[in-house]
């Protein structure tokens, strides 16, 4: 039986199926934008302004594949990401060229993502013990290795993650590029029928995802968030509304990774909190 990289016995398998992951994913992009070289790489190499949903969906698709895909699907997805990163270069504020697959940048993106996933979902009401949170970070070391990092150099617990952010904090700041990302994530330039949803997207996802950043990240961005109690209340209300949608429908977007895993392995592997490892 091919359970893929992680399998149904992991915290990741249960956690990543929660609908609050959409808010967490957007929040992680705000956080990533505070690293000047990381955000420069995105602005200089991505077509996100021409394809507004593309980057978020590509990231969601990669996370879904790594979390629920077969071993071969994970291998192919990881090889594709490494190949894309290997070919890209960007320039920093001083005009110096750097590789997008610089391990320092890969580590920043990994930590910004998994920290956002875990902290936003817990704030949304997904209950985890501290031991389960540490187990999640440890599991995610395997996903970091897929993009070219060494597992033993990646934070594997909440304490190690906090130490990492404390160490990298002096490098983080608001830049012109981070402002581009901030404005884009608040109101992406979509057209057609999607434009009709912007008035709901901006307060319920765009600004909400910004408002659930860590306080130090909000201070660096410098924009006013929702008050903390309001942000938590809105986040929990959005999650509660999403949970009213039948799980197979929720799990069908994007690409139906969870549904495919259930089809491959059987209904007993369907994600649920009761399956969390202790």
Nearest alpha-carbon partner for 205 in 179, 181, 185: 185
**Are 40 and 91 within 8 A, CB to CB?**
yes
At residue 196, the pLDDT reads 67
Assigned domain for 5 exists? no
Assigned domain for 4 exists? no
Assigned domain for 6 exists? no
Whether the CA torsion 229, 235, 239, 241 is positive or negative: it is positive
Assigned domain for 3 exists? no
Assigned domain for 44 exists? yes
Residue 263: C-alpha distances to residues 255, 256, 267 (Å): 14, 10, 7
**Are 167 and 186 within 8 A, CB to CB?**
no
pLDDT tens, the chain, 278 aa long? 899 999 999 999 999 999 999 999 999 999 999 999 999 999 998 877 677 677 778 889 999 999 999 999 999 999 999 998 888 899 998 899 999 999 999 999 999 999 999 999 999 999 999 999 999 999 999 999 999 999 999 999 999 999 999 999 999 999 999 999 999 999 887 666 667 678 888 888 999 999 999 999 999 999 999 999 999 999 999 999 999 999 999 999 888 999 999 999 999 999 999 999 98
Assigned domain for 162 exists? yes
At residue 48, the pLDDT reads 73
- Concatenated DSSP letters for 60-125? HHHHHHHHHS-HHHHHHHHHHHHHHHHH-EEE-TTS-EEETT-HHHHHHHHHHHHHHHHHHHHHTT
At residue 278, the pLDDT reads 84
At 233, phi and psi to the nearest 5?
Answer: -65, -45
Site of tokens 């999640």? 136
Prediction pTM value: 0.95
DSSP 227: -
Domain that residue 257 falls in: 11-275
**Number of CB atoms found within 10 A of residue 103's CB:** 13
**Number of CB atoms found within 10 A of residue 196's CB:** 10
The structural domain count of the chain equals 1
């Amino acid at each position: 039986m091919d359970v893929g990289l992680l399998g149904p016995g992991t915290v990741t398998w249960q956690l990543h199926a929660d609908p609050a992951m959409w808010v967490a994913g957007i929040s992680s992009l705000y956080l990533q934008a505070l690293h000047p070289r990381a955000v420069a790489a995105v602005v200089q190499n991505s077509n996100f302004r021409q394809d507004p949903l593309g980057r978020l969906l590509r990231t969601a698709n990669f996370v879904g594949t790594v979390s629920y895909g077969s071993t071969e699907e994970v291998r192919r997805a990881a090889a594709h990401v490494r190949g894309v990163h290997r070919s890209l270069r960007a320039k920093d504020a001083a005009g110096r060229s750097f590789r997008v697959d610089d391990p320092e940048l890969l580590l920043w993106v990994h930590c910004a993502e998994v920290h956002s996933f875990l902290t936003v979902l817990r704030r949304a009401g997904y209950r985890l013990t501290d031991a389960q949170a540490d187990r999640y970070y440890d599991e995610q070391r395997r996903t970091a290795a897929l993009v070219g990092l060494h597992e033993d150099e990646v934070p594997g617990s909440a304490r190690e993650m906090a130490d990492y952010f404390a160490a990298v904090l002096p490098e983080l700041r608001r830049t012109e590029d981070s402002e581009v990302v901030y404005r884009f994530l608040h109101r992406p330039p979509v057209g057609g029928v999607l434009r009709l949803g912007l008035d709901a997207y901006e307060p319920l996802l765009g600004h909400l995802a910004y408002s659930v950043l860590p306080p130090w990240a909000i201070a660096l961005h410098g924009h006013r968030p929702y008050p903390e109690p309001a942000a938590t209340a809105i986040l929990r209300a959005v999650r509660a509304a999403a949970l009213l949608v039948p799980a197979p429908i929720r799990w069908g977007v994007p690409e139906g990774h969870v549904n495919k895993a259930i089809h491959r392995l059987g209904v007993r592997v369907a994600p649920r909190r009761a399956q969390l490892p202790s």
